[in-house]
């Protein structure tokens, strides 16, 4: 499974990229606004921090303006992935951009039928929102299962990008289902490292080492 981080905080991205765990980054208008920085500037900086796809979202809702915005965004860096909403105009834009060789992330997916449409439009990634689906009384993981089944039935190349990941169990279950990518906030990635027995093991090793009075660095 590929790991993307869902943030526009460049310090967090740089720190996590140093672990070798990051395969890409997703952003959205809300995350850019939270950063308090210029949209183009922060997106360019993020693209320089990772080799993989960096999702940059269009703001327009109509196809012609989406295409104009995408043209600007594509000039930022070669690893920009244009993010479009799952609407008729969004899928028109997806089709046109993928035909022109661009990466496209179709976002705000809440049904398997929507995911089917995105795959037929040639999306590079489909972003089903697991946590937000749960918030509204549905099962976000069941949505992933349905999409995985449909995509496998027809050998679609669109990658399933599990989004709105809230905690490590979402990551684990998304991996079990076979999602190609999970995008998550930095705090969720860091939580994946945590286990009480790891912490206790380190504590025990250090206590035993201190009793020896030795040091590795002379």
Catalytic residue numbers, as ranges? 83
Contact (CB, 8 A) for 108 and 129: yes
């Amino acid at each position: 499974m590929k790991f993307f981080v869902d943030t526009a905080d460049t310090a967090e991205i740089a720190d996590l990229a140093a672990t070798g765990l990051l395969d890409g980054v997703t952003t959205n208008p809300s995350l850019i606004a939270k950063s308090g920085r210029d949209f183009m500037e922060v997106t360019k900086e993020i693209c320089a921090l990772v080799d993989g796809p960096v999702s940059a979202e269009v703001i327009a809702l109509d196809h012609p303006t989406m295409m104009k915005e995408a043209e600007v965004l594509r000039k930022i860096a070669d690893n920009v992935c244009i993010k479009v909403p799952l609407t008729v105009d969004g899928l028109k834009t997806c089709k046109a951009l993928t035909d022109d060789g661009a990466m496209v992330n179709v976002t705000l997916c809440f049904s398997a039928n929507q995911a089917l449409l995105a795959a037929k439009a040639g999306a590079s990634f489909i972003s089903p929102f697991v946590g937000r689906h749960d918030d509204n009384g549905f099962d976000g993981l069941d949505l992933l299962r349905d999409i995985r089944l449909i995509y496998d039935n027809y050998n679609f190349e669109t990658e399933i990008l599990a989004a709105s990941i809230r905690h490590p169990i979402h990551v684990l279950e998304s991996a079990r289902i076979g999602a190609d990518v999970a995008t998550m906030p930095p705090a969720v990635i860091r939580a994946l490292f945590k286990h009480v027995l790891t912490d206790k093991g380190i504590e025990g090793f250090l206590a035993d080492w201190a009793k020896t009075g030795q040091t590795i660095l002379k």
